[in-house]
Amino acid sequence: MTDAFVTIDWTGTGTIRLIDQTRLPLEEVYVECATVDEVARAIRTMQVRGAPAIGIAAAMGLAMAARTIQAPTFAAFYAALETHGADLLRTRPTAVNLAWAVRKLLRAAQSLRDLPLAEIPGRLIAEATAMRAEDIRINRAIGAHGQELVPDPARILTHCNAGGLATAGYGTAVGVIRAAAEAGKRVRVWVDETRPLLQGARLTAWELSRAGIPATLITDNMAGYFMHRGEVDFVVVGADRIARNGDTANKIGTYSVAVLARAHGIPFYVAAPTSTLDLSVNGGAEIPIEERGPEEVTEIGGRRLAPSGIRAANPAFDVTPASYIDGIITERGVARTPYDESLPRLAGDA
Ligand code: MRU
């Protein structure tokens, strides 16, 4: 078995090929999206998921849509592209990378307004392709900065999946773990299973096994047990949106891990590209949290666990206050408190 898998890429015929993350780890199958509506559906149903990956999927989907727009003028072309962008934005609300990617593609279209209309779609496809390649470079840079913080040896806990599957490749939090292993550090990973959708058990465990990095799967409620026993040295997680003050939205359960880490004196780091920063949002309370269907809680794999009629809550993300975060690892370096100064500096917005 090889480590290599491709999360998202073009096919030879200009459609988009995604590894179907709802079928992993039992089946490694790919879905092909031939329209932007199919891309939107793949994001909504989480065939592709993880903040950077849905951003790249949206950019590629929008570029693909540009080819099908029949418009007599640039204004009409751009209006149609904006409508597709708005449809993509409605798929999932928390990860800001989606809005970032749609905005970037729309800006690229604006910058091409003086070209003949027929040339614009090809240029947008090149832009989305470059964003995909850039995401992988960014993740390697996050890994390089982050691995310096990892002790040797280290027992690292991570939550959800912030790996190659959640990005165009390599991963953010998992990228830090990979880079530490590549640097020769002796790392072992505690993988939180991450209820309700089990991204840790299904996806992170699969990726780490393929990469040959020793990993042990635990249920989410075991993290405190192992921390208390002194068996966790370092925590690193990804992010879906980081507010100007450093408050970080990530998969539900991240906040509990951060509080536990602080209680046990364990360093807690967030790893994310600067495209996950939302400096227009001052604090975590302003971050929209996606509420998903109750069946994700009352069922596992389509099989009911709870009595019928029981209400179930299902916020897909929580916000970890900045005060629990020891550093935010980006491709441009590690931001430290006070984040409302360090993050704008890293973003080039100070
Ligand atoms: O609901 P998901 O699976 O899209 O949530 C993913 C996460 O919360 C990840 O930790 C986050 O997007 C970072 S991915 C590099």
Matching CATH topology for 8-139 and 143-347? no
Q: What is the CA(137)–ligand 1 centre distance, in A?
A: 19
Atom of ligand 1 nearest to the CA of 163: 15
**Mean pLDDT in each 10-residue stretch from start to end of the chain (350 residues)?**
82 96 97 98 98 98 97 98 98 97 98 98 98 98 98 98 98 98 98 98 98 98 98 98 98 98 98 98 98 96 93 98 98 98 89
CA of residue 113 to ligand 1 center, whole Å: 35
Using a cut of 0.75, tell me whether the model's pTM lies above it. Answer: yes
CA of 307 to the centre of ligand 1 (A): 29
Mutation pick for ligand 1 pocket among 7, 44, 46, 160 (CB with most ligand atoms within 8 Å): 160
Residues with Cβ within 6 A of ligand 1? 49-52, 95, 160, 162, 166-167, 172, 199, 238-240, 250-251, 316
Please identify, by atom number, the ligand 1 atom nearest to the C-alpha of residue 51: 12
Q: What digits encode the pLDDT tens for the residues 178-218?
A: 999 999 999 999 999 999 999 999 999 999 999 999 999 99
Nearest CA to ligand 1 atom 8: 251
Pocket test for ligand 1, best of 202, 240, 278 (most atoms within 8 A of CB): 240
Report how far ligand 1's centroid is from the alpha carbon of 75 (Å).
Answer: 35
Q: What is the pLDDT of residue 350?
A: 57
pLDDT at 214: 98
Going by alpha carbons, the residue nearest to atom 10 of ligand 1 is 238
CA of 47 to the centre of ligand 1 (A): 13
Contact 56, 135 (CB under 8 A): yes
CATH fold of the domain at 143-347: Rossmann fold (3.40.50)
Residues serving a catalytic function are 240
* Nearest CA owner, ligand 1 atom 2: 50
Residue range 301-329, pLDDT digits in tens: 889 999 999 999 999 999 999 999 999 99
Q: Domain boundaries in the chain?
A: 8-139, 143-347
* Protein fold of 8-139: Four Helix Bundle (Hemerythrin (Met), subunit A) (1.20.120)
Q: What is the pLDDT of residue 349?
A: 72
